[in-house]
Structure 1
Amino acid sequence: MTPISETVIDRYLKLAGLADEYGAIDLALELLGRGVPAEAVLLDLVAPAQARVGELWAADEWSVAREHAATAVSDRVVAAVAAHARPRPTRERIIVTCPDGEYHALPARLLAEVLRLRGWQVDFLGASVPDAHLITYLHQTGPEAVALSCTLPTRLPRAHATLTACRSVGVPVLAGGRGFGPGGHRAFLLGADAWAPSARPAADRLDRGLPSFPPQPPVMKHLADEEYTSLAGRRGDLLARVMRALGAAYPPMASYDVRQLEATAEDLAHYADFLAAALYVDDSTLFTDFVTWTAGVLRARGVPAGAVRAALDVFAGELREFPRARRFLSEAAAALTCPA
């Protein structure tokens, strides 16, 4: 395999950052013409460049608009590489999809094209597929397996519904994506038959044989406390109360303009959603990881860690009757080591 150097990745990233889709496509086709395998172009060029796109946005070096433009370029590059390769299917049918509400489709698209390159007959359904429509499609096409991609942990409850639906019609599921967590423990908790961290190991896993149904997934006894259900059901009211209380608890908010207040409300909504997801899978690290990442993102934008700690304290005050949630909030606050 011809290696793809960091210089080439930097060149691709610059083109993507300029929204130069033709230049990025030309670079990818140039690599193919030099004998670089199509799978390497997808996974050793496009994928790491996209990871850098996210890092540049988090560091406040790229705007949301620029990040979106670069992602659109990568999507076009993936399509161009796939059209150039045009492999003929020689193996069984695999469905590649995202759960309802998951709009990060590029990781799933990369997996779909890698599987095609390896001979699988692939139906790529894209982002946010409702379960009822997915089940109908499974009945119509009769695939050997479903590959389910979940990037955001907040989509785990919906991913659980998808996994349960696939199990009900006898189709095994290979789960993947950051949302399922390191080691795949969240995937197996929710009923996945196999797990892989990214596209290449997912394809390798299928190369070793299609997944078969394991024993019934664990019973999620922690949901009996109804903390997840209550928090999700009271989300709107909770966020309104937290926003008001934070204004009193964090004096700098008094000078916030409309844009800053809107950003604060959006951040609080993310805290609530990630806390709910952590409660759903009973995994405090899901929430702590999000909080520490968010603190870094906000710090790059001039927001001190004290604002994050204040928000966590206010949530804890509003969730006095939620012992698991309060424990998760306390662990996240303890993980914030940045100065106020």
Structure 2
Amino acid sequence: MSTTTPPRSPDGVDIEFLTERLWNAVLNGDEYSATELVTRAVEEGVDAESVLLDVIAVVQGRVGQEWAANRFTVAQEHAATAINERAVAALAAHPAARTTASRGRITVACVDGEWHALPARLLSEVLKLRGWRVDYLGAQVPTPHLISHLHTIPADAVALSSSIATRLPTAHAAITACQAIGVPVLVGGAAFGPDGRYARLLGADAWAPDARSAADRLARGPLPRPQFDHQQVDDLPHLADQEYTLVARSSGTLVRTVFTALEDAFPAMRAYDEMQRERTAEDLAHIVEFLATALYLGDETLFPDFLAWTAQILAARGVPAQSLPPALALLARELKDFPRAARILEHGTEALTKTDHTTAAGNPA
């Protein structure tokens, strides 16, 4: 248990207590109590930004933890997220949380293919509270539509959000396209790594680990306008080997081939019901997608980390992870002529072995 003092608003209200009350409302599916709780808090003088980031965002993080531990179904996770989204909307619409725009204009959007929109929405509301005029475009914004918007409504910067690493190739395209028309890009979200390593790799103008840090960065001064004409075009030279392109384009074939061969390599699969077979196919698709992303980034740590996480998720659901090494071996056989892919798959298999040993010792990673 943490020994730190629970955060308190300026008027002495216990933020931890508010968080627990919101969690109970979310857990009970009670959107009315949730929205009433956050609006009453700001009416009573609790800082609106703190309600957004120290209460709602914390509860949403707990929702994700409950899903990962298999204590929430996907449907429950979606329902809980919807209630948190309503709580954000209720707070944003409340007169006590409104601020007159006194700064520039920021466009906030999720990368194409990114459906987890709440982090971007939280950033939007925090920026509004701090005096920015914000154009919030929501989830899954195709890059051409983002650029079209920027041509119509210019912005001082674009804030791009992504929580899933497999969206990084698309994020790279969006970053480059925005910079090509002279708009700097700040990125955030779990996809870019805990230290922002992928933000730097993909040439973003700034990175922030969370909404408060992003708002602080923008408050320190404008992001410099990108000098795209002088930017190195070949910023990912490892892509010249075409491994990423070939794996990405053949992903469907790879999944089908490995799935078919897996029945012989992992006989237990023959007893799977239809739902288990569908989930196995989905898992294989994710494996290939993460492999392709690792090839794109030229990063050999991303894929093993994903596999270790996947093994833990499977274990939480009572699903043996023993099918993963045979699947990786079959995938390696199909990609035997791809040196980088083979090396990444080897590292992934080693990571699974370490995870198995750690878990067997009663000390999950």
Shorter-chain TM band: over 0.9
Which of the residues 195, 201, 205 maps onto 1:193? Answer: 205
In structure 1, list runs of 5 or more residues that go unmatched.
none
Which of the residues 253, 263, 269 maps onto 2:285? Answer: 269
Q: Quick one: distance in 1 between partners of 2:338 and 2:286?
A: 18
Which of the residues 232, 251, 263 maps onto 2:248? Answer: 232
Q: Quick one: distance in 2 between partners of 1:333 and 1:15?
A: 42
Kindly indicate whether residue 161 of structure 2 is the aligned counterpart of residue 149 of structure 1. yes
Q: Is the 8 A contact 2:15 2:54 kept in 1?
A: no
Q: Is the 8 A contact 1:15 1:21 kept in 2?
A: yes
Displacement, 1:310? Answer: 2.2
Q: Quick one: distance in 2 between partners of 1:330 and 1:30?
A: 54
Q: Quick one: distance in 1 between partners of 2:22 and 2:99?
A: 25
Q: Is the 8 A contact 1:93 1:145 kept in 2?
A: yes
Q: Is the 8 A contact 1:114 1:203 kept in 2?
A: yes
Which is worse superposed, 308-317 or 151-160? 308-317
Kindly indicate whether residue 68 of structure 2 is the aligned counterpart of residue 52 of structure 1. no
Displacement, 1:127? Answer: 0.9
Q: Quick one: distance in 1 between partners of 2:300 and 2:161?
A: 22
Q: Quick one: distance in 1 between partners of 2:118 and 2:159?
A: 14
Kindly indicate whether residue 107 of structure 2 is the aligned counterpart of residue 95 of structure 1. yes
- Residues 38 and 21 (structure 1 numbering): CA distance in 2 closer, same or farther, change over 3 Å? same
Q: Is the 8 A contact 1:17 1:67 kept in 2?
A: no
Q: Quick one: distance in 2 between partners of 1:24 and 1:311?
A: 44
In structure 2, list runs of 5 or more residues that go unmatched.
1-7, 361-365
Q: Quick one: distance in 1 between partners of 2:250 and 2:85?
A: 37
SS of the aligned residue for 1:248 comes to helix
Q: CA RMSD in A?
A: 1.5
Displacement, 1:7? Answer: 3.9
**TM-score (ref. length: structure 1):** 0.96
Q: Quick one: distance in 1 between partners of 2:297 and 2:99?
A: 39
Q: Quick one: distance in 1 between partners of 2:29 and 2:164?
A: 25
Which is worse superposed, 227-236 or 187-196? 187-196
- Deviations 1:213-238, CA, capped at 9 Å, x for gaps: 37725720110111110001101111
Instruction: Please show how residues 88-237 of structure 1 align to structure 2 within 5 Å.
Output: 88-212=100-224, 213=226, 216=231, 219-237=235-253
For 1:338, give the aligned amino acid.
D
Displacement, 1:54? Answer: 0.8
**TM-score (ref. length: structure 2):** 0.90
Count matched residues: 340
Q: Quick one: distance in 2 between partners of 1:18 and 1:328?
A: 43
SS of the aligned residue for 1:126 comes to coil
Identity rate, percent: 54
Q: Quick one: distance in 2 between partners of 1:229 and 1:29?
A: 49
Q: Stretches of 4+ moved more than 6 A in 1?
A: none
- Deviations 1:260-309, CA, capped at 9 Å, x for gaps: 00010011111111111111111122212211111111001111232222
Kindly indicate whether residue 330 of structure 2 is the aligned counterpart of residue 338 of structure 1. no
